[in-house]
Amino acid sequence: MSKPPLKLPQARILVTNDDGINAPGLKVLEKIARSLSRDVWVVAPEMEQSGAGHSLTLRRPLQVRRIAPRRFAADGTPTDCVLLAVNHLIEGRRPDLVLSGVNRGSNLGEDVTYSGTVAAAMEATLLDIRAIALSQMRQGQVLSWHVAQQHGADVVRRLVSVPWTEGVLVNVNFPYLAKGKATGVKVVRQGRRAANIEIANATDPMGRNYLWIGDFTSDNPVGEGTDLWAVRQGAIAVTPLHLDLTHGAMVRRLSEAFG
């Protein structure tokens, strides 16, 4: 089963993120969404939720703050925001498209398994809504939104112009480049980093030792045809992701082992 191409000016778009309601990337994405449709809703986390993955808040109530018409902040995860938006906050019909981001920093390779940005798109996919996660690569702490600003709307427009397969979301990463230097769009598979995780080991003001998980600093190796490779080429990486995590070849091998 697949959904037909989306008629954009009439589409209802939900915008969310994992960097929080005040994040600059959310403003960038809202602007992209408003250039595509006038029916834009925003439901985003009150606080930054980077690394929250697909977590769902079950053991405490969620406070929702209505900031303006069609604009809310919820003190939960990106997944909570999409669930609350679709099942309660958005009046009338469900959204046709969920856009998540633009994340401050890339979501490449295995990042997608930690990412709250990607998880919000996963949640929308589980709710049977087309969903796109968008992330802007940075260089260290230096970040500029202009690649996302320049290309975001066109990328979304092209993505929704094709039939959308059930259970699939699309992960988009904008390279970090000087203005006008993006080399196009590459449709690529999910890559894999040789992660180099930094763990800070220090003492807090109370004299207690702590460990703090830091950045995943390496983006090597970059096998050709992956998202990591594409952004290295200066291209916008577009990767369709499938929520069915089953590995077909291993199903057959294991079936034989247990047969």
Give me the residues that bind Mn ion (CB under 5 A), please: 18-19, 50, 103
Is 173 in contact with 236 (CB distance < 8 Å)?
Answer: yes
Which one, 17 or 164, has the nearer CB to Mn ion?
17
Which one, 37 or 57, has the nearer CB to Mn ion?
57
Which residue's Cβ has the minimum distance to Mn ion?
50
Tokens of 234: 């200066």
Q: How many residues does the chain have?
A: 259
- Report, in Å, the least distance between residue 137 CB and Mn ion: 12
Which one, 103 or 190, has the nearer CB to Mn ion?
103
Tokens of 193: 């980093």
- Report, in Å, the least distance between residue 214 CB and Mn ion: 15
Q: Residue type for 52, please?
A: A
- Measured between alpha carbons, how far is 229 from 152 in angstroms, rounded to an integer? 20
Is 121 in contact with 138 (CB distance < 8 Å)?
Answer: no
- Report, in Å, the least distance between residue 175 CB and Mn ion: 17
- Report, in Å, the least distance between residue 104 CB and Mn ion: 6
Tokens of 171: 């992960």
Which one, 164 or 216, has the nearer CB to Mn ion?
216
- Measured between alpha carbons, how far is 198 from 84 in angstroms, rounded to an integer? 35
